[in-house]
Each structure stands twice: as structure tokens, then as C-alpha cells.
A and B are shown apart, each in its own frame.
Chain A
Amino acid sequence: MKAPFLLIVVTLFFFTFYSSNAQEGKLVTGKVTDEYGIPIESASVIVQEKNKGVVTDLNGLYSISLSPNDLLQFSFIGYKTQSILVGLQSVINITLLEDLEVLDNVVVTGFQNIDRELFTGSSQRLKAADIKLDGVPDITQALEGRAPGVAVQNVTGSFGAAPRITIRGSSSILGDSKPLWIVDGAIQESIVDISFTDLVGGDINSLLSSALAGLNPDDIESFEVLKDASAGALYGARALNGVIVITTKSGKRNQTPTFTYASEYAIRAIPSYNDYDILDSQETLAIYRQMAAKNTGFLTLPALIGARNSGVYGLLANALNTRDSEGNFLAENTPEGRAAYLRQFELANTDWFKELFNSSPTQTHTVAFSSGSENSTSYASLGFYSDTGWTIADKVSRLTGNLRNTFYLGKEGNKDRLKLTTQLNGSIRNQRAPGSFERQTDQFFGGFNREFDINPFSYALNTSRAVRPRDNNGNLEFVRQNWTPFNILKETENNFVDLDVIDVKFQTKIDYEINENLDYAFLGSARYVSSSNNHSVTEFSNAAETYRSDDESVRNLNTFLFADPDDVVSFPRSVLPSGGILTERENSLTTYTFRNTLEYKKRFNELHGLTVYSGQEFRHIDRSNSFNTGYGYQFSRGGTVFTDPDILRKTIIEGNNYFGAAQTRNREVTFFTQLSYDYNRKYILNVSGNYEGSNRAGKSKGNRWLPTYSVAARWNIDRESFMEDSKVFNNLTLKLGYGLTGLIANNASNNEAIFRNRVTNRGRIEDRENYINIDDLENSELTWEKAIEYNVALEAGLYDNRVVLGIEAYYKDGIDLIDLVRSSGVGGETLKLGNNSDLVTKGLEFQISSNNIKNDNFSWNTGFNISFLDQEITRVEQAPNVFDFVAGQGFGNAVGFAPNSLFSYNFEGLTSLELDSSGRVVTPGGLPIFTSAADNPDGRINFRDTDNPLAYLKHEGSLLPNVTGGLSNNFSYKNFDLSFFISFSAGNKVRLDPYYSSVYNDTSIFPQEFVNRWLVPGDENRTSIPAIPSTQTIARIGATAIRQLYNAYNFSSERIADGDFIRMKNITLGYSFSQGFINNIGLSSLRMSLQSTNPFLIYSDKKLGGQDPEFVRSGGVAFPITTLYTFTLNIGF
């Protein structure tokens, strides 16, 4: 623990101070500095045997009179104590090395700091400095591969979006699987509580999903990952998914005031088509030509007139009908004329990445100040992150401030009885993102879609390279989207989201020593986060103009027009005659945490150590969200509002709302007690109990409280007498743990029936009524989700800790997990949520770190960790439909498989063309065939089938990797240091991006393999790429059925790849200037480094064709993690 250590040092310090007057023998002088040459003030210089010593002055200087045989000891808080035999020297300058062990020797649980030697739980400590990725503003990403058992999937790289983090597998099937974040003792909530599906959905809300987006990575000192029941015991009913405790930086006592300035400049690589297996414009046009051919029947003039979307052929159709100033048609309607016109697109080969992406650098600046006196310490920092945009549609800036003061009061003898810490953290974030509407799941046709998606990354990969941003004269060239002219460059300027987040946190901590054995502590924390985002769709954007496309040729097709139900004979018309749409969304979060604890600590007879820790905590979390859609806002006319009331009628009739607001409130009360006993620090037993209550079920008293507990033991084998003489082991420990953790199932809270108001579904607005729906019937048996955990760990330190090994195994029995069950219906609810599923998790974790070489000039450290995971659902009754199973959004749950498994339509081949005797087509060729249900001989695709779809779907694997790990190597030679970090993960499956469709148009883009598609009968024997269906084929099969069939191909066993990868995560080359040079220019430290983050993938499945195995491309605001080249400068004054 930190406190006793401090105590000892402080004691020592006073002791030396009082005795420093007595001097004898010869005078020895010198200077005490740290590694960077900064003088250490108030370091103690003592001769232990003689009970005498001095402290250094402001400049780190000391003088003491000694005899030659004296052993001089130099010590200071946070530094390794060094001893030196005085001998004949009269000047002894000493450099104290920072004692990393000091921090490493305690486990920060967020409640207590526990002596690591006595800690019985499973935990992993990570120092922020070791893992920090320069130029990456959110530190959560840096956890990838660093701690065994912690799987980090960077499903999106957008600022503010959280990676998917799971600790020891997901513990809940339908519920939350995110870990609990603790910052300086208090739970750090994210502004919005979103599911995995939402996280990968690319919606605006995903930008608020990271709980740590408001934290400057430079302010973070360390992480402690609490993995098992015993480690997270005091978090009891919230620790089911593990806990990550973050400690931020603070000042040190008796420290010279220090300023540090760090700046990072990061350049992001622009993606390149070379990395993607995508056809160029020439190859693409060859496919369009096939589509335009007579027997296929697409891209014909009449079809293009009413087409919803069109590209180069649409431009051709226009050119054939438009005369230039001299009266000639822009394109001559002859085969040659048409070919000539199309040639310009054939040669375009647009590099959308170049058009839409920038390489301008991001900048990070952090100024930090820390100082410490006898009675107080302070740490203050100001951080600024600025990103002018990787693409033309996004940018971010973030300002963070952090102030932390600690006061030591009530000095009594050589102790401070009262320690008071106050903290103030704040951040302000302004972000622009591409205008994006909510992603919608289409379980009927099978797929996801989003209105007016203009995400530049998705656009570059979804849009034909034959389409051009500008025409030959350099003017913007418009294709057609949603019956309306569209140009991505114009659209990104006119359709955008501005997100502002303000995050403020106040925290106070009081530690008071009641008497020698009893300490009291209080923690109070209050945090307020407010986010507002304005989605501006200006009157010039395609998304607004679409509401006005009421041309005769398209008005009966355009669903954005209004067909008045009270005037059934009129044509659909525009109800947004002028202006655009301004949608404002607000989210806010208010949290309070209060905690009181008492700790009794005593050693009896030097042999029996006893600690009793108990306390109580109260948490208050309020969230609110609201939105308001303003139709007819005129951006170019000073914001004057011009609304046609019928647009509201259209919205309401269609069953949607144009504004809304909702709140959620959580109240949680916890009582906890922990008892630790150790015998001679050799055998340790720890028993914890936690009694937690929550308001999730409102007034209902049923199952409001959940008791959790854990028992764990530890055997420090190295303290046994038979180990004392070991030349190899300096540390050997065995830990055993058993415990129960829980999770408040937020998705089921019906201890009492839940009633919600709704509006009836009736066609006429006048017929609609308010009604109260029984959303959930009472379930008096509803309880928390739980896991019973067993953990065994062996740790060893060899050769004076030059090699440290750890191996750990665990078994988790998840019970009472929330499930969705089809009921008898008699009670009035078809599907009921209740505790009905079980999940078994087994895992093995291994890590090793070693100091391979260490001498004055050169050192080499290696760290390696790997963890294995095996999860199986043993009971579940929810019946996901086919789409849930194949879509890979976390709903593929079935007995015998891991949770969130991914399934596929089992591809069996392509149809061969079959003709009847009169030469008519019986079966068209080149259509995909999938294994289908026995009672579905036609093989019709039904994405909503829930009737045992596993009988015909193919199990591919889990979405969650079951092998994860990392390898780090750090070298230093003189002033240079070099490090690289490799992360890997394996065992999961990835769905390939959906490129296939029953109908393509002339903006469609095709993967390389498309050239191998079925073209002529017999091709079914050589290829598995389906044909482009002709209009006749579509008419034969039915437009709906064939659309479902081709979408099924996107979700088939053909469109799957291994998620395994080995990624070079980070390479850093650094140079620290020598002390002499620094002192000459008046600085205390100076370091420069170059870092490359995510430079390349060492291995990934070839089938991915450039697709990132971690990133889920869903459009909207989702951008992948990219390669960063960062230059970093650290200056200390």
C-alpha cells in the first residue's frame, strides 16, 4: 500500500532531519539527481547504522561528514534507494532511478490500494507510458493485445467511438458485455449506453460510446484490469464483465515544480485502391456493358428515366437528349457515338480516396505542471487535440483540463492524519462528422441500409471508379441518387453533423486516520456531460432536394413525396418546398458517487495480519436524450423557417415522430465488507461480500438486492523456508479464487409490470388514440445475471525478476442470464425476457516478460502474452431468426455455440441453365443455391425464419476472437530507444463486405472476383460467383425473391473470412538528449520520437481482399483505424 510506504519514508525523513546536526569525520558533498538530471530536492542521505543523515537542498546538493567505512544510503519517494560505500571519495554524485516497483507493488482496485503481495485476485497492471499510442486521442485503443484476457476489437476508429472490449469473454448473452470503467475510484459512465449492434452501426450515437473520450491520454498514469470475482469483489453486482481501473497522474510530495510540454504531430495514411481487390473503371465499364446488353435488359433509356440511382449511363441518356450551343447532341445516338461518350468514364479511374481524404496532420499538445511541498501536491494539465480531418467530412478538436490537489493536514508527530484530495477534470469537444441518418436493419430483404449515406470511406468503396467528381471542364459532375442529382463533394459540404460535448467532473477524497489501526475515507464525485449534435441537411443537399424531386417521371416512385390520404386522387407532391432539415439531438448524463469506508488494519505478534475493510456507496445516474427535426430550415436565408405543415402530416402518418425526449435514471446502493488475513505474509485468505441494491425495477421490492461474495487464497511460496535458498526463483506465488459476480440486467426490469404509453396504429390521424401498453408483464422471479467463477494463478519471478512468468486458468459458470423466450402467450406476452440462459466460459492466460540484456549502454526487454478462451452456451431458448444468425451483429446465440456466433447460408453452388423441350427457360443459370429447410423445396430465402434455421445454416465461428495476445520488444542503446509491439488475435470469423445484389446499376462497384462470375452455361462448374440476373430472370423468380436470394449470398459461406490477424501495432524510435546538452539550453529534459501506429498487417486472411479484419464498415460516421505516423516532442522545464 502507498500509505504505509509514504509513512515509512516520511518517518525516515523526519528522523534524518532531526539528527542531521550531528556530524563527524570527513566532509562528503554531492548532488542527487534523477535520470533526466533534474536535481532532487529533499532526498534523504543517511548512514543507517549511525542514525544520522541530511536532506538535499533545492539544487539537490548535500554535505555530510562521514567516516570511510560508512555505508551511505540515498533515498527519495518514488525512487530506488541506493547505497554506496563512502571509501575515499569526497564528492559523491548520485542519480536515483525511478522505482517502478513502488507502483507495481500495489494493486489499485479503485477502492483500496492493496499490497500486491497480499492481493488474492486476478489483475493486470499496465502503465500508460508503456502502452500509449502517440497521436491517438483515446487511450482505450491502446489496450489491444496488452493484457491477457482482455480482447480489444477496434470495430471503428472514429473519434469518440469505443472499441469493443471484453474481459474473459462476454459474460452476458443478451445484456451488456462492456467492462466497468473506474477513473480515480468512481465509475466512469458513457453518455449513451449502447449495444454492440449500435456500436458497429455507425450511427451518431456511436461517437458518444467511449467513456474515456474526454480523458487526455497524457493525464493517465496507469491501468489495473481486474479480471476475476475476487479482484472485482467490491464492485459485486457490476463486475460481471470485469473492471478496468484508471489512475490519473498526480504530483509528488516535496517535488520541484516541473513543467512538461508534449506535442504530437500525426499524419494519417490515405487509403489506397491497391490494398483493395476492386475493379478499375475500365473493368467496371465492361460489366456495365454486359448489363446494358439487350438480353440483360438494364440501363435502357426508359429504365434510366425513372431510375432511383444512376451513374454514367444516366449521364449518357442525358447527353443523348441534350443539345449543345451549336445544336448538336452532346452524344450521338449511334453505337460509336455512345461508345465515344462512355470512353471518358472508362478512362476516369477515379481515385475516390484521393478525392475525399486528406493527409493533414493531427496535433496534440499537452502542458502539464506538477509540484509538491511538505503539505500539498498539485498536478495540472491542459491538453489540446486537433484533427482537421482525415476526410473532407470530418474534423475534431478537444480541449482537456485537469487539476488535482492533495493537502496533508493534521500533522501529529511524524504522520499526517488527514489527507484531502480535490480533482477537477473537464473536456470540451467539437466534432464534425458526415451527415448520417440512422442505420436500419432490413430483415425482410436481408441487409442494412442507411438513408443518404455519405460516409467518405464507404463512398470510396461503394462507388464505381467510372463515376467522376468533376467533368472534363472541371465542373462538378452529378450522378443521380434517390431520383435527385448527387455529387459527393457538394453533398459533404451540405450534409453534416456538428457534435459538441462538454464533460466536467469534480471529485473529492478524504482520508482520515482515526487511530493507528483505523482509517476512514470518503469519496465524492460528481460528473456532468452534455452533448448536442446538430445534423444540418441544407437546402442544397441531395437529402433535401430528394423531397422536391416531383418530376412527372419519378413522382409516383419517390417515396419522399407526400401522397395525401385524404385526397386519394391527387399525385404525390413535395412537402418540403424550400429549405433543408435541421435535426438537433441532445444527450446528457449526470452522475454522483458517494462512498464512505472504514479500514481496520493490524498485525498481531508480527505474524498475523488482519485487514477489515467495509463501506457503503451510493450512485446516482441520470441520462436524458431528446431530438427535434426542423423541416424547412433555410440555411442560406439566415435560418428563416419555412415549413409546409403537410411534411409533419407525412411524418406522422407514416408512424414517425418529429421530436421526442426520454430519460433514464439509475440509483444504486452498495454495502461491502472485505476481510483479509495473512499468516506471516505467506498464506493469505480473503473473503469479500457485497450487498447491492438498484432501482432498475422501480418501486417493486422484488429482487431489488443482490448479495455477491468471493473467497480467495494466496500462497507466497517464495517465503517458504525451502525456497529461501533458491538461486532461480525470487518470487513464486499460487492464487486460488472462487466467487460470485453479478450484473444488473438493464434490458429486463419487469419485477413489476411495465406500462408505457403509445399511440395506436390507425391510418387516419383523427382515429389515433393514446394507449397504455403492457410492455412487460410482471416477472416476480426476475433476478440479476450472475457468474460463478473459479480462478487459479501461478506467478513466478526468476533471476531477480529478470524473467517474470504468469499463468492463469479460469472457469466461469454464467447463470440466470437474460434470455428471450417464446411464451405460451396466455399471459398476454409473446416473447418474454427472463433469466433463462446459461453460459460456460473456460480460459487460459499466459504471460512472460524478461529483461534479456541490461547493461549501461544497452538494454532489451521482451513481453509476451497470449490467452485462450472457450465459451459455450449451455441453455438458451431465444429463437433468433436467420438474419440474426447470419448478420453478425451479436444475436447469433444457440445452445452448443459461443455467444455471438456467426452463421452462414450454406452455399452449394450455382444453378445450371435448364430448358424445357420447347426451349423455354425452366431454371435460369448462375443463381446461387443454398441448403434450405426440408419443408422449403423451392429454396426460397426467408430471413425471418425462426423455425429451427440451424438445420440448414452453417456455423462459422464466433465474432469474438478466442485467442488474443501481444508481443512487445523494447531496446535502448545510449540515448536511443526503439520499441515495437505486435498484437494478434485469432479464432473469430468476419463477414465480407456485401457487394452482391440482384440488381446493379451504373454506379455499382465490383470486387475483383466479379470477373469470374457466371456468364455462360457450364460456368457453374468453374466458379462460385453468381451471374448478373437478367430482367427476364428477375421476372421469373420474382423481384423480391431474387433480391433475397442475392442478399443471402452476401450472408453465405462464400462471403466469410477468418478474422485471424497479426498486426504490427506500433513501432517507436526515440531519442533522449543528453543531460549536458539539455542543461546548456536551459531545459530539464528533452526527448523526440517517431512512432508508427498500425503500420501494417503481418498476417490476415487473403479472402479479406484489403478489408480490415477488425473494422465493421457500416457507413454513417464509422471510419477504420488507419496507419499513423507520429512525431512526438517532450520537453521538461
Chain B
Amino acid sequence: MKNINYKLFLPLLSVFILFSCSDVLDETPDNRTQIDSLDKVSELLVAAYPEAIYASFLVPMSDNARDRTVAGSRPTILNNEMWYWRDLDDTASDTPTNYWYRAYKAIAQANQALESLDELGLIDVQQRGEALICRAYGYYMLVNIFAKAYNETTSITDLGITYITKPETTFLPSYSRNTVKEVYTLIEADIVEGLKYIGNDETVSKFRFNTQSANAFASRFYLTVGKWDKVIEHSAVALGTNEDLTTKLRDMALHTATLSLPEQLLQYSSIFEPANLLIGVGRSTYARTNRYSRFGLDNSLRVELLRTSPLGSRWAYSVFRNRISNFTPKFGEYFRVTNQVAGIGIPFVQLPLLTTDEVVLNRAEAYAMKGELQLCVDDLNAVLSNKVRPNPQPVNLTITSVPLTYEVNDATLYTPFYTIPAPSLPFVNAALIVRRTVFYSEGLRWFDIKRHNMAVVHDELSSDGQEVISSSFTLTKDDNRKAIQIPSAAQALGIEPNIR
């Protein structure tokens, strides 16, 4: 019996020791990934760009959307509510709330990448630069959409957005908002730090930041805070040197003349387009709604923005028109099928986030502000040269023609936090007018409106299809509604709402 006793207890003991050990519980429960190499960090960063479209809600808020009347269009709630500058508490794609979640999601990916780099002990790597720039970009977009415009005096107290730099680790933490000033300071710090590391990694696609696109973003950032030398400095890096500038800009004249509609749609956001520095993809129906939503490109706006160019000839942008559609072919749709029988799936829209055209126009405005008017005019001409049709023969802008054509009669039209010197004003105005057309339906106009503290007037037409103004709505210069309302779920968890 003793024998049996002994034999039995040995396996028993070993089993006890073997399994009471906690190591077995370290087993990964499923096919999740571990971030254990620089490559993996890089893959985290692929998703550090907001997967959302902002044009869908910024365009109807701006002066780039007019009433196409109910009869000729199909109303969508988003387009409607944004046009009337009402708070929309909807989480569907294309909404401000969706952008909020997606931008913070992108920031979380960047924050995780930074944390993983620290854990891996990797300091001087391109990925650190990309992560910092991604984070800066996310916060820049958020603060511009959900807070008041940057203003050196009031931003010290204006409510900005919550700025976090570490991955969240608890279930539902409560957050408070930083001031606008603080947010901008932190963004600038990220940009400065990020640019130190970012390089031109050939393997990085145009969907991610490289030296060029990071500097393009810096150019945009410094334009917003009014640091003109910095705008010029970063623009120069973004554009590169030694080459004819126009070859790097979007050649609309060529595209319109040679490409079919589907090809134009593809080309606009393509990686093959030299003008595109950074391309984004978002879950969106904007490719459709932009065509037929009630508030958008009507005939009067088409004539105003897309007919005669500053160079005298017609703009090269083609406008597709029928009874309910009226659009410039900029957005194609990728439809990811999830249910073939019902014919439903997830629509995506790809659009350029940063372009050489924007960089050149940023720089033009900065030159104007610095009084370097010839350089400003050169930049404007560069952009316009391939955006207009070749006949009648375009006539380039000159230092003398601009003040005549772009004189600003209403002294209160542009009221940024800085003063625009009187001689610069027509040039700034020209740059803004060119931007309005070149970036039509891309949403950038809204940021110009905020930057220059402009008022927006929306005229509602009578519903019978007659173009009669039935009522007029104004978004004043310091209107609180310029800061889109914080999503209700965030408010419910303690984030202070914007003043209404």
C-alpha cells in the first residue's frame, strides 16, 4: 500500500505545482496583436488619421452653400441642420459628432504609438515624428471645429478641447477642457518636436505624414496663429526646391480636358496626383449628398465661384448639372459591400487633406501680410495658371491689378485678431477668394471664415421652387455657434458644453 501511496502523490504534487503557477494564465486568449516592434508602431500610425469627412458638415455652415430649394433637391438632416447652424446630436457618419469621435480615435492611436515607442526605448525614429504630427493634426482639427477661432487675447480664456497625451486606462474617466491657447501651445510643441524626427521615408504612402506633408500642415497651423515667417519657412519645405512650382500643383485644365467623369473623381484624391500631399479616407455618403442635398451649389453660386477666374478666362473646374445634381467632380465613392442581397454596405469617400495648392495659397497670404506683394502675386499666379482654361488667353495678376480688382470696400469684412495692413488687404482678399473656389466643397472655406472672423448670411428660398428669399439667417462675426457643440455623450460625462 505504501507504494501506491507514494506513486500517487508524486503526480499530484507535480500537477499542483505546474498548474497553480500563474504562467499558464499569461496565454493570449485570441488573435490579438502585441506591439513589440517598430513595424507594429508604424502600423498603429496608419490609423492615426481621422477616418471621417468634415466637408459634409462644414460646407453647409459656410457661405459656400446656398438654398437649392426643396423641390430640386433631397433634404438630408445633416445638411439641413448645419446650414441653419443648429446643434445636431447625431452620431451617424459625416456628422460633427462622428468627426469628434474619429479624431480622438486617431489621437489615441498616436498616443499609443508614442507610448509603445517609449516602452521599446526608441527615441530618434521617424515614427515618433509621425505620431506627434498626427496628434497635432487631430487636435488642430478638433479645436478648430469645436472651439472658437484662435485669438491671441481671448484664447487664454476661451474653452478649447480636452488634450490628452496618454492612452486612456479607465472605463469612463471624466475630463475637462483646456483653453484654446493651451491647445494651440501644445499643438505647436508637438509640431516642433515632430518635425525633428520626421523624414522622407519612401515606404510611407501619401495617406501618412512625411516631411512634405508635415510641413504643409505646419504651414496651415502657423497661418492660423498668424506667424507669417513660419508659414513661409514651412511652405518652402513642403513644396521642395529646384523645380517648376506649377508641375507640383493640380492641373485642372488638363484633367477637365482629358478625363471622363469617373476618371476625374478618381484623379482628384489619387496618390498619383502630385498636388496631393496627404490623403484621407472617411466613412461617408458625402459623394452623393454633396450632389443633391438641399443646401449646396446653386446656380448663383456656380456663376459666382466657378465661372470667371481671376485671370479673365473661365475656371477649368467642370460642373455637372441636372435637375437635382449640381456638383464639381471631386469625390468618388468606395462602397464596401457588407450585404450583397440587400445591396447595402459602407460607403467611403477619399479626399485630399493637404495639398500643394493650399501650401502655396497659405504662403501667398503670408507674403501679403509681410508686404512682400510680388511674391504673393507670383504664388497666386502659380496656383491659378493651371486652374483656368487656356482660352481666352489668361492674364496674370500683377501688383497693380490686384488692388484694383480685389479692393475691399467693407472694412469689417475681415477682422482677424491681428491687423491687416491696408496695402496688404486686397492681396489677402484675393488669396481668400482664390481659396474659396479652389477648395470648393472641400470644407476649408469654413476655417477661413473662422480665421478672418467673417459673418455668414444664409438666405432661405420659398419652398415652391421660385427663387424668392423667404427669410435670411445671419451668423455674426463672434457668434457662439461658430464653435460646434460638444457631443451630448461627452457633455454627459462632464465635458463643458459650448455657450449657446
Contacts and interface: CB of A to CB of B under 8 A. Distances in A.
A836 interface: yes
Contact of B334 (A409, A618, A762): A762
A772 B345 contact: no
A822 B91 CA distance: 10
Given A665-B27, A772-B43, A559 B35 contact: no
A327 B294 CA distance: 56
A908 interface: no
Contact of B47 (A618, A749, A771): A771
B342 A782 contact: no
B12 A763 contact: no
A11 B90 CA distance: 78
B88 to A, nearest CB: 11
Interface in B29-68: 29-35, 40, 43-44, 46-47, 51
B47 A773 contact: yes
Contact of A944 (B92, B283, B487): B92
Contacts of A520: 8, 12
B28 A418 contact: no
Contacts of B340: 451, 559-560, 654
Contact of A664 (B29, B105, B339): B29
Nearest to A777: B168
Given A767-B271, A826-B490, A757 B43 contact: yes
Interface string A887-919: 000000000000000000000000000000000
A655 B337 contact: yes
B413 interface: no
A767 B332 CA distance: 15
B47 A779 contact: no
B212 interface: no
Interface string A294-325: 00000000000000000000000000000000
B342 A781 contact: no
A328 interface: no
Contacts of A835: 171
Nearest to B490: A824
Interface stretch (B15-23, B363-371, B476-484): B15-23
Interface in B73-93: 89-92
Interface string B130-166: 0000000000000000000000000000000010100
A1076 B185 CA distance: 102
A514 B169 contact: no
Determine the interface band of chain A, counting residues with CB < 8 A from chain B: 35 or more
A568 B108 contact: no
A234 to B, nearest CB: 16
Nearest to A782: B171
A627 to B, nearest CB: 15
B100 interface: yes
B169 A772 contact: no
B447 interface: no
Contacts of A618: 15, 19, 24
B390 interface: no
Given A449-B341, A512-B8, A769-B207, A828 B35 contact: no
A778 interface: yes
A696 B107 CA distance: 27
A476 interface: no
A754 B260 CA distance: 45
Contacts of A829: 105, 108, 168
Contact of A763 (B19, B339, B350): B350
A694 interface: yes
Contacts of A620: 24
A498 to B, nearest CB: 24
B32 A826 contact: no
For B47, B111, B171, B492, the residue with the greatest tally of chain A CB atoms inside 10 Å of its CB is B171
A569 B348 contact: no
Contacts of B107: 828
A770 B334 contact: no
Interface in A820-848: 821-830, 832, 834-836
A755 interface: yes
A596 B171 contact: no
Contacts of A767: 205, 207, 271
A822 B207 CA distance: 29
B495 interface: yes
A659 interface: no
A756 B336 contact: no
A525 to B, nearest CB: 13
B101 interface: yes
Interface string A535-573: 000000000000000000000000110000000110000
A655 B336 contact: yes
A19 interface: no
B472 interface: no
Determine the interface band of chain B, counting residues with CB < 8 A from chain A: 35 or more
B1 A779 contact: no
A406 to B, nearest CB: 17
Interface stretch (A101-109, A427-435, A697-705, A987-995): A697-705
Contact of A695 (B15, B24, B262, B332): B24
B242 interface: no
A600 to B, nearest CB: 16
A772 B113 CA distance: 10
Interface string A652-667: 0011100000111111
A450 B342 CA distance: 9
B399 interface: no
Contacts of A444: 342, 344
A565 B201 CA distance: 29
Contact of B29 (A440, A449, A695): A695
A522 B271 contact: no
B31 A779 contact: no
A1034 interface: no
A947 B31 CA distance: 35
B13 to A, nearest CB: 9
Interface string B168-184: 11111111000000000
B15 A662 contact: no
B240 to A, nearest CB: 23
Contact of A669 (B25, B266, B350): B25
Given A655-B338, A693-B22, A821-B172, A760 B27 contact: no
A826 B175 contact: yes
B353 interface: no
B4 interface: yes
A835 B170 CA distance: 11
A490 interface: no
Nearest to A757: B33
A417 interface: yes
B236 interface: no
A767 B168 CA distance: 31
B109 interface: yes
B245 interface: no
Interface in A627-659: 654-656
Contacts of B348: 761-763
- What 8 A-B pairs are tightest by C-beta distance, nearest first? A828-B108, A827-B168, A763-B334, A771-B46, A655-B336, A568-B262, A824-B490, A618-B19
27 contacts: A410-B4, A417-B1, A510-B8, A514-B5, A520-B12, A522-B15, A568-B260, A654-B336, A654-B340, A655-B338, A663-B31, A669-B19, A694-B25, A695-B26, A695-B28, A756-B31, A772-B44, A774-B44, A774-B105, A774-B108, A778-B169, A779-B171, A825-B101, A825-B105, A825-B489, A827-B108, A834-B172
Given A757-B33, A777-B168, A828-B111, 17 more contacts: A409-B4, A412-B1, A417-B1, A418-B4, A654-B335, A667-B27, A695-B24, A756-B33, A760-B207, A772-B44, A824-B489, A824-B492, A824-B493, A826-B104, A826-B164, A828-B168, A947-B90
Interface of B: 1, 4-5, 8, 11-12, 15-16, 19-20, 22, 24-35, 40, 43-44, 46-47, 51, 89-92, 100-101, 104-109, 111-112, 162, 164, 167-175, 205, 207, 260, 262-263, 266, 271, 281, 283, 332, 334-346, 348, 350, 487, 489-490, 492-495
